[in-house]
Amino acid sequence: MSSPTIADPQEGIDFASLPWNLNLPDEHVYLHIKTTSTWTAEHLDDLENHVYSYKDRLLPVTPATTSLNYGTTLWEGLKCYRTSEKEAVVFRADRNYERMKRGADELCLPMPSKELFLRAIQLAIQRNSQLIPPVGEGMKLYVRPMLFGSGQQLGLYPSPEFSFLMYVSPTGNYFKSATSGLNIHLETRRSRASRGGMGSTKCAGNYAAALKPLMDCKKHGFHDNLYLELDTYHKGQLPQAVVQEMSAANIFFVLRTGEIVTPSLDRGTILPGVTRESVLAIINTFADELTPIVRQSTGKEDVQAVSGHSRTVTVAEIGNAVECFATGTAAELVPIQRLATDPDEEAAEFTFTDNGPVTRAILAMLRETMSGQREVEEGWLRNPFASKEEFCA
C-alpha cells in the first residue's frame, strides 16, 4: 500500500498572516485514543479509526476528570513544514518523545511506545496536510501531542483512565508582532519553578504559573519575563541570582569571551528545549564558521574559539553579553534587545545588539539544518509522507 501524498496548501488561507494561535479549527482533524492501563499493539493497529473532526466531535470530559482536578496533563510541541512544494519534514520528533517519556513518569501516566507516538504524529500530519503552509520563514503546521488523565475520580490518585491525543494548527512565529528585538522583563518577585519541583517537566502547570506574570509584564511594555531561581536572589545582591528561562522559551547569551551560554538543565528548573539542544549542537559543530562572526560582534580579535555551553548563568554575567536571543519550537530563534527590571524592583538594565551578526548566523544555520541544506547529525528530519515503517524507525 502506497503512502499518502502531501496536499497543496488550502486555497483561501493567508498562511503568512496567521498568528501564533489555534487557527482554522473547523478545518482540522485530531487523534484521540484511551487506555485504562498500558498502551498495546492494538492501539497502534487501530489508530486510524480514532481520527475525529475538530468541529464535530468535542473531547469527552466530566467534572471529575483527573487532569482537570489535579493537573495531570503533559503536552509537547513540534513542527512540520514544507521544504519544497511537494515535500515536508518533521524536526526532531524523537526528542519530543524522550521529553514526554520523562514527564509521563513524573505524572504517573503510561507513556505510549515510541512507534505509537511517532505514528500518531505522522497520521495527524497526513490527515491535515492541506494545512501545511507553503514554504516560508517561520510558517509551520504546529503539532501538539497530549497525554493526560481522562478518568474521573475525587481522590488524589493516578487516573483510572488515560488519553493520548494529537492535534494541529497552522501558525506563524510566536513573537511575530515584535518589529525589532524583544524587550524582556527580569522577574524578581515571582517564581516559575524551584529546585526539586516540576520546572523541567513539560506539564500544563508550568505554563499556568507563568500566565499572570506574563500578562502583568506586557502592561509595562515588555514582551515576556525572564525568570530567576528565586531562592538564589537576595535583595541588594541581584548580580548573584541564577537565571532560568522565559515563559515559553529558553535564552542564550553571546559573551565577549566567545562563549555562547544558556542556563543549565542540571538544576532541574528549566525545560530541556529541543530547539535549545539543537542550537547548542549547531554552535559546537560549526564553531570554526562562527568564530569570525563572534569576533565581529564582540570587537575582540583575540577570540580564539567559539563554544556553546549549558551551565549555571548569573545576572552578573549578563553584563558581559553582546547579543542575546530566545529559542523555542514556537519562537524558533528571536533576538532580544533589552533586559530590565521594573522601576519598583532592584534596578538592572542590559542592552544588546539588536539582531546582531551571531544571532543572524545561528538562525540561518538553524533554518538550513531544518531544511536539510546543512546536517548536524543524521536523523534530525523525518518525512511524514514516507512509509510508516520509515517514519517510525
Phi and psi (nearest 5°) for 389? Answer: -65, -40
Length reported for the chain: 393
Distance CA 124, CA 31 (A): 7
Q: Is 202 a catalytic residue?
A: yes
Assign residue 350 a region: left if phi > 0, alpha if psi is -120 to 50, beta otherwise?
beta
Q: Is 258 exposed, middle or buried (0-12, 13-18, 19+ CB in 10 A)?
A: buried
Strand pairing class (321-328; 73-75):
unpaired
Residue indicated by cell numbers 497530549: 146
Cell of 238: 541581584
3-state secondary structure 179-230: CCCEEEEEECCCCCCCCCCCCCCCEHHHHHHHHHHHHHHHHCCCCEEEEECH
Q: Which residues contact 135 (CB under 8 A, 6 or more apart)?
A: 81, 82, 83, 84, 85
Catalytic residue selected from 79, 140, 202, 388: 202
CB–CB of 15/176 below 8 Å? no
Dihedral angle computed from the Cα positions of residues 169, 175, 178 and 179, in that order, rounded to the nearest 10 degrees: -70
d(CA 239, CA 317): 8
Cα gap 334→92, rounded to integer Å? 20
Inter-residue contact 245 to 251 (CB < 8 Å): yes
Helix, coil or strand: residue 25: helix
Residue 355: burial class (beta carbons within 10 Å; 0-12, 13-18, 19+):
middle
12: left (phi over 0), alpha (psi -120 to 50) or beta: left
The radius of gyration of the chain's CA atoms, rounded to the nearest angstrom, is 21
Catalytic residues: 202
